[in-house]
Amino acid sequence: MYYLELFVENKCGNCNTLLKVIIQLKEEITETLDHVNMSLLKVYRKLDLKDPAFIKPIGLSALPLKDEEAFREFEEFLKIDDNFFLTVQSFLFLLLYWSFLLILFISK
């Protein structure tokens, strides 16, 4: 909030100071992203992509569900506890995996 107030007050009255603040803020953000990337790389290295927890559960319908019948089949599939937990694990893995790739892409 401080940076926004500084920008509004200055309105390029003191552009050098404003530019220094922007550059400092950019460097802080870049440094934070570097730390996040290093942490994500450590996590990614420890993931075993062939682990059964990350493989799509047998019998899982193709997503997105296209009709009411597919929805009912998916609902029946999830009533079995093992199927439910494997499906949740698969979704979480995909979420983490794509988030990791997105962060790597954005930071470059």
Domain definitions of the chain by residue range: 1-46, 48-108
Number of H helices, E strands in the chain: 4, 0
For residue range 10-30, list pLDDT tens digits in order.
Answer: 555 677 777 788 888 888 888
Q: Is this model's pTM higher than 0.75 or not? A: no
For residue range 31-82, list pLDDT tens digits in order.
Answer: 888 888 788 777 777 766 666 555 667 777 777 888 899 889 889 988 988 8
Q: Check if the beta carbon of residue 78 is closer than 8 Å to that of residue 84.
A: yes
**CA atoms of 91 and 86, how far apart (whole Å):** 9
**CA atoms of 36 and 30, how far apart (whole Å):** 10
- Report CA dihedral (94, 95, 97, 99) to the nearest 10 degrees: 160
Q: How confident is the model at residue 6 (pLDDT cuts 50, 70, 90)?
A: low
